Structure 1
């Protein structure tokens, strides 16, 4: 009803004598998925057509091109004309025998027909006579028997060669004689036979015209099979099964690789083995199988073009090493390097984004495919005499197949690393192929190879490379916007609602902010400015079920003489928000002891108030704005949901922006008086990270924001004599100092 379905691919080949098939079927019955490839001219390929074969007993003729061509053009033309006349007579002599053999074949039954000496080509296998005579026989036997026969062709008179070695003259001579080369590959008797058979054999006439058209297009056909799998694909499956089995049995502790682990822990084991790793779950195995299918298609398409299986292995090794190295470098560049100097170029995911098997390297091979960007997959369906087909470029189909990896997670930076190194590999490969083709002048065997070789000889290297650059940019230009769209989907912001935030605990207070303040040089009004930045984001009349109804701020000082404290208290005591949210605590004293100051403040709030978090704030760190305030709420909400046993959250720097759980706040109050040789803010930070023996339960549980959500305004009035800051340091949007450390969790 639906007829046959055939999938054809166009494959560009390299002019390498060592090129071998990457997959060879054992038999016709074992060919589960069959592809017919059609080679077309390309600036990186040769059209390999050693001989033009005839169908149904017509003679065949092979045209050889010698590098040493007679410089005397007229004498060569005479020799060529004599050769064609002799061959024409030979064709006329063979015609009666041809018709007698054909009539005898028509009278005999199919099973007893005299075997014809037919050269085996793809068109010959598909010819009606051969198919009709083998319908009741095994295809393998017919194919083997046909291969054992030889075509009887008369020997052509030798053409006189010359020894002149002027390569420039030789090239010009061949260009003027290009049309004669094409005609020489088609015997004159070919057209004579076609005219005689037009009335008696219309089907044969159709095949002859088709063959003539194929000759003019200089295409060669070869049967390929995707089963057995290509060589490299098979080895990739074996290695992946071995590595994943060891990981599943817990003999190897492997995971995906991220630059943060390589930079901070020098974790090369996961970087090396992660491309071969998959989990023993149905989604993971399905995605790995999909990537193996893509790799097999790339191997079938690129192995011939780059020069064989060995060259394809070298290409894969180069891509595996270079993509991994570039990924780590991008993580350092767009995280640690730009996080402080150029915050607009800071991207937190560059350090945390985890690899996903083979997907980064498939994007690199996608760019290499641009060397044969015009190659297509052609799906032919319907009856034999129909012309129903669907055509799609290989690059387009392979791009859509690679994008399936984004269904599992965002891998933008790994994909970009693959695209960049694929671009570099393509340029290097193009230069290598150009150099090899210019050195292969002694291996020229037919017109197609000569035309390609002449193209490489006459075209400057920079022009060949520029053509490859343009093709690579086309592929990258089509791929990158799609990847950015996927990245936007995965990195879209989601703000926590007031109801969700209010439900994370049942304590009387959700947040208790402790603003530490002390007199500063010049008596700047930093305290008022800092308090105002928070009150701007808090409503005047929150509802009873609002989390803002469970927030308060304690302004704490132990200085008896602190003018800015008095001014701020007087100002906010007359406002609605100040009366609702602010509490003022002053202890008498005049000593500059920051360690004791913070310890007393923590003891005071933990004993007096029941709160989910106690947040330490310095009086010169205002919140950046409304968006950053909501980011604080988001980070704390994600910490409660994803890391329920965490000890605290850090969204600022130094001693500001530390959200401590009650138990840790009490412990930190004691540790401040124990570790007297360590700055107070460093003691609390180390305790949150679990670096202190007393805080070992907090190891690997600290939650931080991606960037600083508050900024420093007291850079030149620090209360610590040993601290000096610049005006542009620790500003909004800066990378959080702990971002990238694999020991912390970043939201």
Structure 2
């Protein structure tokens, strides 16, 4: 490297690169259509280049610097020795150990020469020049002593190189070399960065970086129809999200000029086609509403040769649109133009099927007239875009904007849908039993009832807010831009899919994981009632484009974002119907279907010609809005369950004083480990002690002659608390000792208490305390259950409609009305007899199942089931703490079964009423 000033490297041509053995010949361009051929895109050697920044006369930039006083950072100020202009060190690209200083305009960069030489042939050749032995003199090179005092800068001087390029372009190039290229969305700002990198990468032969930047730019300016459609989808999505801003992509003139400058003709077809879609007024006299945005003066323009090709090609495109419509008119109704056939590829067929040759010809004629008026006479949007014309002509005639303009033949599906809302709502208002039942997954999982599954869309509203939701649904259907029989059938089929998804999710979050993973258990995933069109209507709204949404809402597009309106309406309907699981899963199903269809489309496109396939649906699906709605539904559902206030219930008053309301009997049986047994009994009794009052009593009962743990606890409690300890010492030689006899004797003892007998009796085992020792959750749940039992009583002395409750599992947590005690004592005593009196065909059942069947009304010896059902809690509110200390020596121990918060075994059954206790855990 010369010890004197180092001049900037000249820009070798692409032919020079080829001579060096580098394969830089651009790929042969394939035209998208016949119009592009008329533009005569020639090889780079035939082009007339527009003067660029690299070719314009440059001011003389000196490599001789003078130095002034030090600034606040400790660096000496640097000035151009010839002009006196102050030069600024770049704040980020100034490395203290850099081996060369690059000057671009008035900005200095200190970098490593080896980094530039490694990736650039130009800089590599410069580094390969033999270096003289003498040091740089005082008038050349950068003086390192002027660096920050105390820094790690080296002594002496380093070379200076002048780059006759924009400082911003040099900055972007160096950042890409040092940090790696990080590009954006191919928007206007991103293009400014990428174009600068491409200019310098081409000029200084950074081949790898040039290829990377060119590949990124080709995403927005592709050479295949598949890439073009993906580009247009991104542009449509951007327009939906930014309705008041210029378009996403930069002015095509800038791309054309860049392609000429860097000799990248593969960018020209897309750029020339893009600009040809706009009118001359939009291009050359845009006025205040410039769709390309505001650019600094001078406004982008083309070289004379490119301007000639552009105008010739634009004229050819206009003739192509005319020829396309004329060819459509000359074709038979069942035939399509060849260009249409090649472009449509795998697009789905539409439901517009001709019922006769006459009607088909009439529809085809109307479509041709509509296309002629729209594209040739009115010159509406798309009139200069053959691809848009082809796409729109493959679609059936658009439906009128509002239902009031429909003919009676076409409007009847709309009226049918509206009647499907109004009639069930009216019937439900007159008499709720006249309406179809709403759907919940438990009807299929437990009751195997498919009727609600099939008719739930026509079920009446369940609340006043649900009625308001129905009114909004009627208004939306009335103004829907296109609603025919096909949409109704597809909507019903989608409802079936949503209901199936709800059933699967309900099973997973209750029956599947609700046993051992309380955090995943969800009562409403199983019990949430669904009715009406709401979820299906929301999915329909998300399939509309911006113009259809605007027409439906009646609002101006410049004042609202269409899909923001859909998002708000969807969330409002979900909130009014109180169906977060149904709406949420409907949106999840829609997103999954869309992504699956896009994936399948991409897979198919790889197997076919790239000019006959599509990579994505024509309409830009608002995926972002769909995800936002799913997030909002999930968030509000979680927040409402987490932060819903816990209602602290009070124990009801006894209906027949002075008799008590509730007697709690804790059954105890000896365990091999006396110490553990004593602790279990103590913990269980202590969990019920706060409930004791003149209205509630607690007793510990055992039928074992020898029970040391029972005696220990009895002696420990003594008379300090109002707890009764009773040992039944009766002998029964005609019966088997065990749980049957133990329970039968407990019921017999309760019956023998006479006037002290309470209205309700709760049976529990000595290792099942109430949950929530700290927060009283189990006690609160028991009080609420007792309120529900008493609410079913028609009069003071009448037997309540609800005969019992179940808040635990097995034989614990069963609550019986006193009228059932004689029956239970008799049934259990009969099962315990050595010589059974039971019918021979009656299957043997455990004692706890006998009690459960009696409460459910399934036992033939018990009273039949009465209206009202059995009350249960959605989760267990009793904790099984004795799993490791079984009373049966032959039974395997397990400490993590049937714990607090587990799903109740009867959850989902038709015969039960559920008290939701999700907020307690």
State the TM-score, normalized to the length of structure 2. Answer: 0.50
| Equivalent of residue 473 in structure 2, options 270, 285, 291 | 291
Q: Compute the displacement of 1:550 (Å).
A: 1.9
1:641 aligns with 2:791: yes
CA separation of 1:323 and 1:636: change in aligned 2, threshold 3 A:
same
**Partner Cα separation in structure 2 for residue 282 and residue 712 of structure 1:** 42
What is aligned with 1:604?
A: 749
Equivalent in 474, 485, 489 of residue 628 of structure 2: 474
Q: 1:353 to 1:586 in 2, by over 3 A?
A: same
Residue pairs, 1:6-25, within 5 angstroms: none
* 1:715 equivalent in structure 2: 883
Q: Could you list the per-position Cα deviations for residues 384-424 of structure 1 after superposition, in whole angstroms to 9, with x for gaps in the alignment?
A: xxxx9982333443444444556666322222222211222
Verify the 8 A CA contact 1:275 1:356 in the aligned structure 2: yes
The 1:708–1:222 alpha-carbon spacing in structure 2 relative to 1, beyond 3 Å, is closer
Q: Deviations over 1:446-477 (max 9, x none)?
A: xxxxxxx99x97x9669x99986545323423
Distance 2:911 2:648 in 1: 26
Judge conservation of contact 1:621–1:656 (CA < 8 Å) in 2.
yes
Q: How many residues align?
A: 533
Offset at residue 261 of structure 1 (A): 1.1
The question of 1:739 aligning with 2:907 is answered yes
- 1:179 counterpart = 2:275: yes
Verify the 8 A CA contact 2:765 2:811 in the aligned structure 1.
yes
Does structure 1 residue 584 correspond to structure 2 residue 723?
no
User: Structure 1's 527 and 179: CA in aligned 2 closer, same or farther, altered over 3 A?
Assistant: same
Distance in 2 between the 1:583 and 1:422 partners?
62
Aligned counterpart, 1:670: 826
Cα offsets for 1:496-519 (capped at 9, x unmatched): 135xx3366645222211111121
Instruction: Indicate the residue corresponding to 1:519 in structure 2.
Output: 670
Q: CA deviation at 1:275?
A: 0.6
Separation (CA, whole Å) in 2 of partners of 1:535 and 1:190: 84
Alpha-carbon shift at residue 243 of structure 1 (Å): 6.9
The answer (yes or no) to whether the contact 1:243–1:276 under 8 Å persists in 2 is yes
Matched residue, 1:146: none
Match of 2:417 in 1: 236
> What are the residue-to-residue correspondences of 1:50-69 with 2, within 5 Å?
67-69=33-35
Q: Secondary structure at the match of 2:693?
A: helix
| Residue 363 of structure 1, CA deviation | 4.2
Change (3 A) 1:419 1:723: farther
- Out of 572, 587, 603, the position equivalent to 2:717 is 572
Structure 1 residues 499-553: Cα deviation after superposition (integer angstroms, max 9, x where no partner):
xx336664522221111112122334335434434435645xxxxxx97232221
Cα RMSD (Å) of the superposition?
4.8
Aligned-partner SS, 2:886: coil
The answer to whether the Cα contact below 8 Å between 2:687 and 2:770 also exists between their aligned partners in 1 is: no
Q: What's the counterpart of residue 650 of structure 2?
A: 497
Return the match for 1:561 from 680, 694, 706.
706
Is 2:619 aligned against 1:619? Answer: no
Question: Which of 659, 667, 679 lines up with 1:508 in the alignment?
Answer: 659
Change (3 A) 1:422 1:570: same
The 1:217–1:480 alpha-carbon spacing in structure 2 relative to 1, beyond 3 Å, is: farther
Structure 2 residue aligned with 1:681: 848
Contact 1:511 1:615 in 2 (8 A): yes
Residue 227 (1) aligns with residue 370 (2): no
Question: 1:569 & 1:640 partners in 2: Cα distance?
Answer: 33
Change (3 A) 1:531 1:296: farther
From 686, 695, 707, give the equivalent of 2:862: 695
Is the Cα contact below 8 Å between 1:649 and 1:704 reproduced in 2?
Answer: yes
CA distance in 2, matches of 1:226, 1:440: 41
* Partner residue of 2:808 out of 652, 657, 660: 652
CA deviation string 1:622-668 (max 9, x = no partner) = 22222222111122223322584111111111111111110112211
Q: Distance in 2 between matches of 1:522 and 1:642?
A: 44
Structure number with greater Rg is 2
Which residue among 526, 533, 537 is the counterpart of 1:351? Answer: 526
Greater mean deviation of Cα atoms: 646-655 or 309-318: 309-318
> In 2 relative to 1, CA 254–215 (structure 1 residues): closer, same or farther, beyond 3 Å?
closer
> Secondary structure of 2:279's partner?
helix
Alpha-carbon deviations, 1:583-630, whole Å to 9, x = none? 434425597332122111111112312212111111121222222221
Q: Given that residues 769 and 880 in structure 2 are in contact (C-alpha distance below 8 angstroms), is that contact kept between their aligned partners in structure 1?
A: yes
Gap regions ≥5 residues in structure 2:
1-30, 43-264, 288-377, 393-397, 794-799, 833-843, 916-921
**1:705 aligns to 2:880 (yes or no):** no
3-state SS, counterpart of residue 414 of structure 2: helix
Q: 1:727 aligns with which of 884, 891, 895?
A: 895
**Cα distance in 2 between the residues matched to 1:212 and 1:432:** 36
**Alpha-carbon shift at residue 315 of structure 1 (Å):** 4.4
Greater RCO, CA 8 A, separation 6+: 1
Determine which of 277, 280, 292 is the counterpart of 2:459.
Answer: 277
Structure whose residues are more often helix by fraction: 1
Counterpart of 2:587 in structure 1 is 419
Q: Which runs of 5+ in 1 are unaligned?
A: 1-64, 77-168, 192-210, 382-387, 442-452, 540-545
Alignment of 1:261 onto 2:227: no
